[in-house]
Amino acid sequence: MKKSKRWLCLALLPLLALMAARQEETPHAYIALTFDDSPNAALTERLLDGLASRGAHATFFLIGEQLEGQENLVRRMADEGHQLGNHTYTHLRLDTTGAVGLQEVKKTDARLKEIAGERTYWVRPPWGFASEETLREISAPLIYWSVDSEDWSLRDAGKIARRVTAAAGDGDIVLLHDSYPESVDAALRIVDTLQARGFTFVTVEELFAHMNIEAEAGKLYARPDTLRPPK
């Protein structure tokens, strides 16, 4: 090695050390925000604007009967890289309603296919309730959550954001609702805080891919690596 080159290498060493330290400061972590009871005509658009400007992806679990008139909003979600999921047609619990509940899942799936195209729409059972029997009948993965924002009861953006950012870890699935203005504010604060800590916001599907886990139909996942036993 020529003397000049050696000097160049020596000069680069502190820079490399600095880059390594930076990486340690911001470890690579992935997290999925999920929004239930969506879409909301008054709030979802603001949420999408905020997520887009932050380069964050999320997952929306949609209620079939709320899709009427919101088709463009739903297509915008898909176009901007978000995942669309099924939250039944009228927000029905899937552990006690048998064939009626399953029919609602099918009906919502058909509406989603009409609006946003053919693909597998994953399911979030309302309140997380699903029986073993219903799981067997659903031909898509079902998604529970590993971090509960409790946004529906806290109704305070600061409290919701603090609760989630304190609990958030790599691979977590966070439950939120885009039906409350406080939740939308909280979600954007959560993105800002956790992005500064090195988190990347992905869809649930992307989270499974990053963790190299294949989601299976008829299973209820709290996180890609953790199953939730049906009740």
Query: Applying CB under 5 A, which residues contact Ni ion?
Result: 36-37, 126
What is the closest distance, in whole angstroms, from the C-beta atom of residue 61 to Ni ion in the complex? 7
Decide whether 36 or 182 has the Cβ nearer to Ni ion: 36
What is the closest distance, in whole angstroms, from the C-beta atom of residue 32 to Ni ion in the complex? 16
**In the numeric block, which tokens belong to residue 55?**
């380069």
What is the closest distance, in whole angstroms, from the C-beta atom of residue 53 to Ni ion in the complex? 27
Q: Which of 36, 109, 178, 185 is catalytic?
A: 36
The residue nearest Ni ion at its CB is: 36
Q: Distance between the two ends of the chain, CA-based, in angstroms? A: 68
Distances (CA, A) of 15 to 3, 24, 26: 20, 14, 17
Alpha carbons 226 and 33: distance in angstroms, whole number: 17
Decide whether 60 or 199 has the Cβ nearer to Ni ion: 60
Distances (CA, A) of 58 to 5, 7, 83, 148, 229: 47, 48, 6, 15, 24
Q: What are phi and psi of 31, to 5 degrees?
A: -145, 150
Q: Name the strand (E) or helix (H) holding 167.
A: helix 157-167
What is the closest distance, in whole angstroms, from the C-beta atom of residue 181 to Ni ion in the complex? 17
Decide whether 134 or 199 has the Cβ nearer to Ni ion: 134
Cβ burial of 177 (10 Å; 0-12, 13-18, 19+) is buried
User: In the annotation, is 36 catalytic?
Assistant: yes
User: In the annotation, is 172 catalytic?
Assistant: no
Q: Which of 57, 82, 87, 177 is catalytic?
A: 177
Decide whether 151 or 194 has the Cβ nearer to Ni ion: 151
What amino acid positions are annotated as catalytic residues? 36, 177
